Amino acid sequence: MTRNYGDLKFNPIRLTRICYNGSTGTKGSNANFFRSALSQNIAYTVRKSYQSINEIAYALGVSPVYVESETEFLYDYGFLLKKGDKYISNIIIDGADEEIIRLHDAMYSQATALFADELFDGLTESGLLKDDRILGGKYGKATMTTDPPQDENFLLWSLIPYITACSGRHLYKETVSFDEAATLRPDGGHNICSADVLNPRAPKPKYDDSMGQFCGCCWNGYADLTLWQCDSEWSEKRISDDYPAASTQDLMLLKRWLDDAELSAAEYARLAERGYIDVLNENGNTKVIPYCVILENEVIKANLLAVGSQIKKRHWDELCRLRDTFTNALLSRTPPHLHKARLFGLQHTFFSDPWFILYVLKNLTESGKLKMPTAEQKKMLITIITKDK
């Protein structure tokens, strides 16, 4: 018999930028669950409606035997939902929608024009960059008796993304909680999964290639310290499956050092290798030069965030108009059962929003206000440690 299989038999899709919002489990990143063309195309086939194993198999042009086990695996880990004997995707899958891309680019371009230069000028004119409660960022030749000066450009590379993400919290309104939107997976992961469909011939959002190298915002805490960090095209890659455990270990060592405890040579070496500090040893004496940007207390953190908060408040009506136009268009293209997952991410627009941070950094690097970091600085770029007390 001649059978007319779906297009996916001959032109399977490929998912790209498989991301998670939340935490991973013992099996690591959500991308680990979608390594095969079969798993990716199963999720894509049922992205809009419930389908049975036979219907999925027919669309893919393969035997139901192959589809059944993979579908059950994805269901067991929460990437599919089930009703009776039919399945539907529990991940947000975005294709190349020209109208959505146009609205996306317009929203971020216009918002960045309102915010980026005002934030840069506000910080550089405030005098806060000279505040001795901002530790670290000391790059250059050091001796046992002299420190290098703080590199203002490096400070801005960390402070601008952090303030972009964390300022204006009084304007933020949570309409969907994380627990409402996220899936708790059997391996301990607790996250929202999203992915894009790769189409080399379709239009892409502005800075799409740069976003492919962006990861964050990530924050991890230990005692009264919090590490806030993003990876980017300008920094080294630091965020991977072992990131939570590695960053906690780093914070434990940093906490002891900040509390004036003596670390072992191996512990100093770890912090130096990971870019947090430089260490000088002379005649049995040890001196530590901090590279990472540390906000010494809640007061200096509040003063810095106030610079961004004032800008967001001043332009808030226009920012809301841009956000709501984009949100409504995107929700109209999102399956109803994924609205909460979609809204959870959208409510962070212009806050912990990787796209907004990227646009702000692109604006300031392209204008020449932010200078390119040195190779040495890439380990600690876009990194802030706060002391929350």
Q: Which residues have a Cβ under 8 Å from the Cβ of 319 and sit 6 or more positions away? A: 111, 114, 312, 350
Return the pLDDT at 337.
95
pLDDT at 344: 95
pLDDT tens over the chain, length 389 residues: 233 446 777 688 899 889 899 999 999 999 999 989 999 999 999 999 999 999 999 999 999 999 999 999 999 999 999 999 999 999 999 987 899 999 999 999 999 999 999 999 999 999 999 999 999 999 988 888 888 999 999 999 999 999 999 999 999 999 999 999 999 999 999 999 999 998 878 788 999 999 999 998 999 999 999 999 999 999 999 998 888 889 999 999 999 999 999 999 999 999 999 999 999 988 888 899 999 999 999 999 999 999 999 999 999 999 999 999 999 999 999 999 999 999 999 999 999 999 999 999 999 999 999 999 999 999 999 999 999 87
Segments making up each domain of the chain, as ranges: 7-90, 98-171+211-387
- Provide the pLDDT for residue 224: 94
Which of 3.40.50.12280, 1.10.10.10, 1.20.1260.10, 3.20.20.10 is the CATH number of 7-90?
1.10.10.10
* pTM flag (> 0.75): yes
Query: Beta partners for 250?
Result: none
